[in-house]
Structure 1
Amino acid sequence: MISIWEKDILYAPVDILIAGSGLMGLWTAYEIKKRRPGLSVQIIDRGNIPTGASTRNAGFACFGSATELISDKANTGNDLMLEVVNNRYKGIQKTRAVLGDAAIGFEPCGGYEAIQANYKEYAFLQEHIDTLNKDLQSITGLPQTFTIDNGALQTQGLTGFDALVYSSLEGALHSGKLVNSLTALVQQMGVTIRMHTELLHWEQLATQINVQTPGAIIPCQQLIIATNGFTQNLLPELHIKPGRGQVVVTKPIPGLRLHGTFHFDEGFYYWRHLGNRVLLGGGRNMAFEEEETCELQTTGTIQNVLHRFLQQHILQPYGIGNTEDVIDYSWAGIMAFTENKLPQVTTVAPNIHAVIACNGMGVALSSVIAEQVADTVFR
């Protein structure tokens, strides 16, 4: 049983209760408090830190590589592809404007996509990029969002690739600083955040929603579920697919030439400089079924894929023969995916909403999608 003090303070009724303290939950709290400062807003999370993807990503401030966007255009149509890119681009600009570059460790280092000659569109790469640039000009304001820069293959020290596509608009950031800064901001706005408080289930009553946590019930007027890849455990009917992303980071490499953010294979591989270290992630397309999971452990299958990639494409100029000797960190994060690659904002019952599936682009998308959530809450 809880005490009367706990009931009055720790488990007191709130106007808005948000499950999930990652970027999506934090930005949603920000948007709600910005519009209605007088509302009581509380975020709960089952962990001691957000353990999905918000602090376990690669720290990219990107809106999509050229071949990824070409692929999306073929799969979903040009209009939907541009809608997603527009939201990603606006999201990056909003994050920088609200929090400031220094607070999130933003580096305007530019981004590259590495391409091999066996890529299905390689023969028409320039033609595809010209078309893509025309489509993107209204979003980015640049006549050339993407340019071919093959000379950078040597200056960046990359091996085993035939072309590089460059965008000056992409950059890198520090994911931990981003979450920390946004957390501090919403707390200053009056949002309460309670960790180690898991949403177990809820009961919808005539005048409120009772949310059961391990400690006690928290009554609320509206419930927002922002648990991303873990949402399938609460709302399996939404058919959200989790996707594990695995990452490795090397020890410091003297004389590292690599500088910028990089993509390969329609975005399934991604790497960047991290000071004089290399951060590399991805490879889940080598084992889709195995990586469709909420388990946070790294696996030998994908770790071996990443080690081979490092050896073949990044480490050769530095005389590092054994990749195992240079790996310093490895981890996994959980993303969420929809079939059409569009984020999902859904009202699952009166005053109960779910916001999920930024499809691996939560850093860019969450601040903008949170506006849609607030629109839904106040509709």
Structure 2
Amino acid sequence: MSTETGSAPKFVNGDVSFWMRSTETPVRRPALDGHTTADVAIIGAGLTGLWTAYYLKKARPNLDIAIIEREYAGFGASGRNGGWMSAEPAGQFKRYAKSGGLQGARDLQREMFGAVRQSVEVARAEGFDEDLAHDGLIHVATNAAQLSRLSHHVAEMKEQGWGQNDVFQLSPHELAQRVHVEGAQGGYWTPHCARVHPAKYTRGLAKVVEDLGVKIYESTTALSVEQHLVKTDRGNVSANFIVEALEGYTSSLKGKARKLLPMNSSMVITEQLTDAQLKTVGWHGGELVGDAAHSFTYMHRTQDGRIAIGGRGVPYNFRSSFDRNGKTAESAVILLKQRLGELFPSLANVNLEQSWSGVLGVPRDWCASVNFDKSSNILSAGGYVGHGLSGTNLAGRTLRDLILGETTTLTTLPWIGRQARNWEVEPIRWIGATALYGVYRYADNREYANAQPRTHWTARMANVVSGR
């Protein structure tokens, strides 16, 4: 960690992510070279695909597994995210309870706790735990309405199966022992979250999977999926089972343009902070920190003393377009730097080193799913709505059980077989997403201005319209 300030770093916008830039430049694995066969073909070398391959190989070492990846392992959200391995469900508890019963939804929540433990334990056992810290997650309220929402949420969490050792409400004084957030009125802490370096973590898992004998074909674009066949720009892959694991990139497959909405999430990261700057922030552990604003902000203190802060910025581009290399809209960079200064005034003028963006897959009902079409042996998983670092682990183990034909506690969870309707056609989709996030930002501003404990009516209306 730095103790004196040097020259300002050159600011980089895009170029994948800071996480990838802070590691060695990946050497791409060979592309598919003509037709091949496999027992299981997986489309996407992100965490869903990698965890599925890992658990399948551990259970059945003789399985022939091929992963097809357009770029390289971890190029997408798995290597760009905020590093939050959170145990909150990848979707809405009330919706899972409606379809699978209250106990089924509680079972899914307990399995998410287990997914965090599994992810940490495997990383440590397999040797890709660099920069990993299992110090939990803090949510902080910085106005009266946020505090009211957090208190209500904690009460809901306890009804949903969170025990007395799973979540702890924090007074302003208790919160200040962990991090100094300007204007903090309270919050909560849960131990069920780990901080990871997304690129090191994902690339480490990819190496482990490859060492187990899984073939990873990079620079190979999947074009369409048929029964037992994946068509790519480099040849075809015939397989007994096919797993679609593309998350926010699902729209790239033929016929899947409206299945998941690719929502932009943008991040900026500071230069390495001095000891004096870190002291003013008072954030010395590996906890992840998020606020309770409608336009949610999430933060990560890195192992080497930087702060990365992320948010939705420009949440959606017309016709699901996005910059694959992660270039961030200037307005999003300005908003995130402003938010950093609001939460940590001593860092208002700190230099930013990089910004980047990625996309997460959002289903129309805001709930993740794991699906298996037994008539075609095509499986899919995704729609983690920001909880993919742990949701992918649970999905990978579930896909393993489904492919192996085993009936387990995982194959009866309420996200199994969940089908959300498609998103609206354009321009309705773009108009709706843009307007809703504009309303959320307006509601945040009003809640700070009027200091009332009740959520602003415009946000309540937006929640009804969006289905959140």
Among 263, 277, 298, the alignment partner of 2:328 is: 298
Q: Are 1:215 and 2:243 counterparts?
A: no
Report the count of equivalent residues: 354
**Residue number among 162, 181, 197 corresponding to 1:158 in the alignment:** 181
After superposition, the Cα gap between the structure-2 partners of 1:164 and 1:42, relative to the gap in structure 1 and judged at 3 Å, is same
> Partners in 2 of 1:360 and 1:222 — Cα distance?
27
Partner of 2:342: 312
**2:175 equivalent to 1:147:** no
2:123 & 2:155 partners in 1: Cα distance? 34
C-alpha separation between the residues in 2 aligned to 1:77 and 1:148?
28
Q: Which residue of 2 aligns with 1:261?
A: 288
1:271 matched residue in structure 2:
299
Q: Which residue of 1 aligns with 2:84?
A: 60
Q: Which moved more, 1:19-28 or 1:214-223?
A: 214-223
SS in 1 for 2:82: coil
2:441 — aligned with what? none
Equivalences for residues 216-255 of structure 1 within 5 A: 216-234=235-253, 235-236=255-256, 239-254=259-274, 255=276
1:76-225 equivalence runs, <5 A: 79=102, 82-100=106-124, 103-104=128-129, 105-119=131-145, 122-123=147-148, 126=151, 129-130=154-155, 132-133=157-158, 135-137=160-162, 142-143=164-165, 145-155=167-177, 156-204=179-227, 209-225=228-244
In structure 1, what is the Cα distance between the partners aligned to 2:349 and 2:309? Answer: 16
CA gap of 1:111–1:50, structure 2 versus 1, over 3 A, is closer
Conservation of the 8 A alpha-carbon contact between 1:230 and 1:294? no
Change (3 A) 1:294 1:376: farther
For residues 302 and 345 of structure 1, do their structure 2 counterparts lie closer, same or farther at Cα, with a shift above 3 Å needed? same
**Residues 1:367 and 2:364 are matched in the alignment:** no
Distance 1:355 1:321 in 2: 40
> For residues 128 and 191 of structure 1, what CA distance do their matches in structure 2 show?
42
Question: What amino acid sits opposite 1:151 in the alignment?
Answer: H
Q: 1:126 to 1:21 in 2, by over 3 A?
A: closer
In structure 2, the CA distance between the partners of 1:210 and 1:364, relative to structure 1 (3 Å rule), is closer
Root mean square deviation, CA, Å: 3.0
Deviation of 1:300 (Å) = 2.0
Task: Compute the displacement of 1:85 (Å).
Answer: 3.1
Of all paired residues, the percent bearing the same amino acid is: 20
Deviations 1:38-76 (A, max 9, x none): 121010100034322101011112223xxx99x945676
**Retained in 1: the 8 A contact 2:166–2:191?**
no
* CA deviation vs aligned residue, 1:90-149 (integer Å, no higher than 9, x gap): 1111112222176223213332111033326x35855753563464345xxx44522214
Equivalence for 2:424: none
Matching residue within 352, 369, 372 for 1:327: 352
Pair 1:44 & 2:68 matched: yes
Secondary structure class of the residue paired with 1:334: strand
Task: Give 3-state SS (helix, strand or coil) of 2:220's partner.
Answer: coil
- Cα distance change of structure 1 residues 150 and 72 upon mapping to structure 2, 3 Å threshold: farther
* 1:153 and 1:159 in contact (8 A); partners too: no
Task: Give the Cα separation in 2 of the matches to 1:238 and 1:377.
Answer: 26
Contact kept, 8 Å, 2:43 with 2:222, in 1: the verdict is: yes
Say if 1:246 and 1:12 are closer, same or farther in 2 by CA, change over 3 A. Answer: same
Q: Is the 8 A contact 1:258 1:272 kept in 2?
A: no
